[in-house]
Structures are given as structure tokens and as C-alpha cells.
Amino acid sequence: MKKGIILLLSLCLLMAFAVSVSAKNLRFAFMPGIADPFYFTMEKGAKAKAKELGVELMVGEYPKAWGPEYQVPILKALAARGDIDLLFTAPTSTEALIPVLKEIHDSGIPVITVDTYLGDGDYSKPSKYSFPLSYIGTDNFLGGQTVAGALAIMLGGKGKVFLENTNPDTSSVMNRELGFRAGLKIFPDMELVGVEYCLDVQETAAAQVSAALQKYPDLAAVFGVNVFSAQGAYQAVARAGLKGAVKIATWDATETLIQGLKKGELDLILAQMPAEMGALCVEWGLKHLKEGAKIPRKVIPGFFIFTKDNVNDPKAQQYIYK
Ligand code: T6T
């Protein structure tokens, strides 16, 4: 009896060892969209999960600026290493990243798109962009609608709004804009007076929002749809001496924006779950490679809305980007 238990225990230990060794042999690569706190937090979440599961995770060089021209060469170099078992990446264009990612996929490296997607993001029906295993990222349209609703309520359902975006062919930020437009439609007295694209450069965003503040002296609010658009909008409103007078809704919970909210200088922040996204990529990637598990074609973590009422809540602190 005792011998049997010892044998069983040894067998279990052996199996656990075998699983951890084989997971350790797997090397995943992560290629972010740009160097910003959102992707740094995603990297942390992915690394923690990789360590927990015994996967080796290598992180591709952070692109110096936003766009396919910066991302494609780094992706090509990553794939050329020849030692990667799975890639997860955030394509900065719905179209321009299709060829390079398809090539990587065809060379035998499964691809997950995280944060952003290719084409219309529907990987469940055959198309030139349906090869990725999954899209793991926020429901950006819903987030945009939610921000529009919250802002309209803050403004009593009435006022002119300006939107600062990055570029029109990245799925994440475009869906935020589309959701925001749809959300505003419910409020007939809310008017979106303009949209500008800053190519993810904070100074450009600040200049564009400054121009909008001059053009519309009765502007009630600005919505900045990601880290640099939002921080640029915040900067412009501050420079114009309009802190508190013009409402600011932002996306992405960086320390800078959280501090602004705490000081009452901006009004709303939508926090995504980047660490969870990174962890999910590693978890699902491993399940796919080790167990042949079918990954859901879309995995959608939630989001959290910070306002002045909850920004100091201890439970909310976990949503600040690290
Ligand atoms: O908002 C995130 C990300 O979701 C988006 O795709 C690009 O911008 C960020 O990285 C923030 O700067």
C-alpha cells in the first residue's frame, strides 16, 4: 500500500517535471505597438504569467514611433531568429500589417493579435486576415460609447465636444471614435465639433487641441482616445488656463492622468486591462501549443472607469498602469 502511494507520488512528480520542462522549451515573442505605459504594463503581465507557466518570453524592440513602418522591420527581425514558437503583437494598421504577419504565420509561427486586430477583427470567417488564432483586447466601441454617455451626463446632456485621436487605420482607436460618435447620438444637444489625428505624438495632440480651444471658445469637453492624445489634450487645456472649465475625458490610466484626476484637473479616465491581456496571450498560447486547445477567436477583458469619486479607492488602484 505504502509502496503504491510512493510510486504514485513519484509518477506525479515526474509528470509535473515533464510538463514544466516542455513548457520551458517554448519561446513566445511579444511585439508592442509603441513605447508607452500601456504596453509596458502588458509586458509585465505577460512576463509574470510566462514565469508562472514556465514559458520563455522575449520582447521585441519597442518601436520608436507609431505605425507600420516602424513595426514591420522589427517583426521581420523577430521572425528571422527562427526560434520562436508563438508571436503576440498589436498591429498598428488593420491593413498594412496583414502581409508581414501572414508571412510569419505561414512560416509556422502562430500569431495572436493583442490590443488591436487585422481587417474587421472577425477571425471566425475565412478571409485574407483570419489567420491569427485570436484577438485579445478591449471592446473599444463599447468603451467609446461609455465615455460619451458619462461625459454627456457630466455636461447635463448639452455641449460642444472635440475628439483627439491618433490615426484612422488602427482598430483600437478608431473603434473608440466610432463608439463615442454612436454614444453621443443619444444626446441631441451634444455636438462633436471636430476630430484630429496626432499619429500618437503628444506634442502634436497638444497643438491640435490648443487650436480647437481657440476655434471653439465655448468648447465644453475634449476626449483624448489614448495615452498621448489624452496627455496632449490635458496639456493643451492646462496651457490655455482652462483647467476645470473644459471637461477632459481620457483613455488609459497612466500615473500622469491619474494625478490630474486627483487634482480635479481632468474628469474621467477609462482604464483598460493591459496586464491581463498580456497574461491571457501567454495562457491561451500555451494551451493551444501544449493541449491543442481551440482559442476563442475573440477574448475581451473588461475596462474600468475612474472618476474623482473612486480614484482614491484602494480597490481601484490595481487598474493604474504600472
Ligand atoms: O490605448 C493604448 C492602446 O490600446 C492603443 O491601441 C494605442 O495606444 C495605447 O497604446 C496608449 O498609448
DSSP code of residue 307: -
Q: What is the DSSP string of 32-76?
A: -SSSSHHHHHHHHHHHHHHHHHT-EEEEPPPPSSSSHHHHHHHHH
Residue 129 has pLDDT above 50, yes or no: yes
Q: In the CATH scheme, what architecture does the domain 140-271 have? A: 3-Layer(aba) Sandwich (3.40)
The three three-digit cell numbers of residue 93, written as one number: 494598421
The three three-digit cell numbers of residue 317, written as one number: 488602484
Ligand 1 pocket: which of 62, 113, 115, 166 to mutate (most atoms within 8 A of CB):
115
Residue 159 has pLDDT above 70, yes or no: yes
Cα distance between residue 233 and residue 162, in whole Å: 10
Cα distance between residue 282 and residue 269, in whole Å: 27
The three three-digit cell numbers of residue 1, written as one number: 500500500
Domain ranges of the chain: 23-137+274-302, 140-271
Q: Which residues contact 40 (CB under 8 A, 6 or more apart)?
A: 321, 322
Ligand 1 pocket: which of 226, 273, 276, 304 to mutate (most atoms within 8 A of CB):
226
pLDDT at 25: 87
Q: Give the atom of ligand 1 at the shortest distance from the alpha carbon of 225.
A: 1
Summary mean pLDDT of the chain: 94
Q: Report if pTM > 0.85.
A: yes
The three three-digit cell numbers of residue 27, written as one number: 519561446
Q: Which residues contact 236 (CB under 8 A, 6 or more apart)?
A: 205, 206, 207, 208, 209, 210, 213, 222
Confidence band of 3 (pLDDT split at 50, 70, 90): low
CB 42 within 8 A of CB 115: yes
- Three-state DSSP at 294 gives coil
The three three-digit cell numbers of residue 244, written as one number: 476645470
Is there a shared CATH topology between the 23-137+274-302 domain and the 140-271 domain?
yes
The fold adopted by the segment(s) 23-137+274-302 is Rossmann fold (3.40.50)
Per cent of the chain over pLDDT 70 is 93
Q: What is the mean pLDDT of residues 116-142?
A: 98
Q: What is the mean pLDDT of residues 172-190?
A: 98
Q: Give the atom of ligand 1 at the shortest distance from the alpha carbon of 228.
A: 12
From the CB of 171, is ligand 1 less than 6 Å away?
no
Tens digits of residue pLDDT in 5-61: 444 444 444 444 444 445 668 999 999 999 999 999 999 999 999 999 999 999 999
3 state SS for 69-87: HHHHHHHHHHHHCCCCCEE
Cα of 139 vs centre of ligand 1, distance in Å, is 13
Tens digits of residue pLDDT in 85-120: 999 999 999 999 999 999 999 999 999 999 999 999
The three three-digit cell numbers of residue 312, written as one number: 482614491
pLDDT at 22: 56
Beta strand residue intervals within the chain, DSSP E = 27-31, 56-59, 86-89, 111-114, 134-136, 159-165, 190-197, 219-224, 247-251, 268-271, 298-299, 304-306
Cα of 290 vs centre of ligand 1, distance in Å, is 31
Cα of 218 vs centre of ligand 1, distance in Å, is 29
pLDDT at 24: 60
Tens digits of residue pLDDT in 224-275: 999 999 999 999 999 999 999 999 999 999 999 999 999 999 999 999 999 9
pLDDT at 100: 98
Cα distance between residue 177 and residue 321, in whole Å: 22
pLDDT at 18: 42
